[in-house]
Structure 1
Amino acid sequence: MNRRKALGSILGLTGIGIVSYVGLKYVSGNSASNKGQLPKYLNLIAELVDVIIPPTETPGAKEAKVQDYIVDFMESCASNKEYNNFFNGLNDLQETCLNTYDASFENCTMEQKMVLLEDLDNNSGSNSLFSKINNKLRGRSFFNLLKTLTIEGYCTSELGTTVHLNYAPVPGKYEAITTINTNQKAWATR
């Protein structure tokens, strides 16, 4: 065997290995988790969920203690990628608030909070193929996680199911096709 060819093959395999390792580190992100840090951000998360589902005639997400659900879910069930995305998103949001309004998110006015969340919603990505691949590789974005967990937490909370939704502990018989009256609440179970 030719010595040059053998050295070239070894160097080529080494190069492929290095590129693969670097690519894997890039895709997986920081494997070190910040788990255990979110309880410090409970007030910030409470303000965020209160902007997403504010109190009206029905209680808001903050009153339903959705912030506790989000912290528990992220601490116990989220992957390291999604946890880090959420944790970094909270920090980025606070930094943006401090740079833009010279105040933390909790101290901003409702209009400022709405502008910040609308900006996050507009930048959270579309339903394109690229965003789906990005979500698969890097995990869901901060705002996507926040919205999803807020709605899940609210709709499964006691206040959400009993006040906002039409809670019926014994729903009765199953009807596949029903007509819904004007302003009728959706049905829920706990």
Structure 2
Amino acid sequence: MLRRDFLTMIAAVTGTAMIGGRAMAYDPTTAGTNAFSAEDTAFLDEVAEVIIPKTDTPGAKDAAVGAFMTVYVSDCYTAQDQQGFRTAMENLKSAATAQGKDFMQMSADERTTLLDGIAREARTASAEGAAKAKAEGRAAKNADLHWFTPLHQLVLFGFFTSEVGSNEVLRYEAVPGEYIGDLAYNGEPAWAT
């Protein structure tokens, strides 16, 4: 099942208006036509490929995660969250420039080293932000997260909800365990689930 078909199905089940068999919860866009350019999509594809590289299983580029991210952010994020995402992209580009190269010109090893360092920094900063929120007696918010964390999370979400990620990387079991269709029943209460 295609990701957009799945999202359309969810929209239909949750009560979104259907017109001519099409969910009208959003206006579909394509990568680079709304809030992001084709260059942004290519950049996000390269970032995603560092996070989920192609090995004996498909990588993020195989799942077109960059294009997914641009559409998802354009269609689903508020203007403030879109700006936060753009800031994260710019921060990442600046971190690469501080290393002496444009991110797109870095080798795979240089990109991996850069993102590993940023991810370690993000884990520490996000944990500190969550601890601060807890100490203040409130739920953690996006503002408590390191700028890289939402970008990283969107890469993972985009990949593992894609057709490639869900069918070729993950394993799906409709019902965990064995199905026994003819089970002896002696009058006790039936299972609720």
Fold similarity call, TM over 0.5: yes
Q: RCO higher in 1 or 2 (8 Å CA, sep ≥ 6)? A: 1
Post-superposition Cα deviations, 1:87-136, rounded to whole Å, max 9, x if no partner, equal 012112212222322x2111101221112112211222132322677952
Alpha-carbon distance in structure 2 between the residues aligned to 1:50 and 1:120: 15
TM-score calculated relative to the size of structure 2: 0.61
**Structure 2 CA distance for partners of 1:40 and 1:121, relative to 1, 3 Å:** same
Query: 1:135, 1:141 within 8 Å by CA — same for their partners in 2?
Result: no
> How far 1:86 sits from its partner (Å)?
1.5
Structure 1 residues 139 and 72: CA distance shift in structure 2, 3 A: farther
Change (3 A) 1:78 1:39: farther
> What residue number does 2:45 align with?
46
Change (3 A) 1:131 1:90: farther
Stretches of structure 1 lacking an aligned partner (at least 5 in a row): 1-34, 177-190
- In structure 2, what is the equivalent of residue 112 of structure 1? 110
Greater shift in the superposed pair: 82-91 or 60-69: 82-91
How many corresponding residue pairs? Answer: 138
Q: List aligned pairs for 1:123-142, cutoff 5 A.
A: 123-124=121-122, 125-128=125-128, 129-130=131-132, 136=141, 138=143, 140-142=145-147
SS of 2:96 mapped into structure 1: helix
Going by fraction, where is helix more abundant, 1 or 2? 1
Superposition pairs of residues 1-190 of structure 1, within 5 angstroms: 36-37=35-36, 39-101=38-100, 103-124=101-122, 125-128=125-128, 129-130=131-132, 136=141, 138=143, 140-167=145-172, 171=174, 173=175, 175=177
Please say if residues 126 and 146 of structure 2, whose CA atoms lie closer than 8 Å, have aligned partners that are also in contact. no
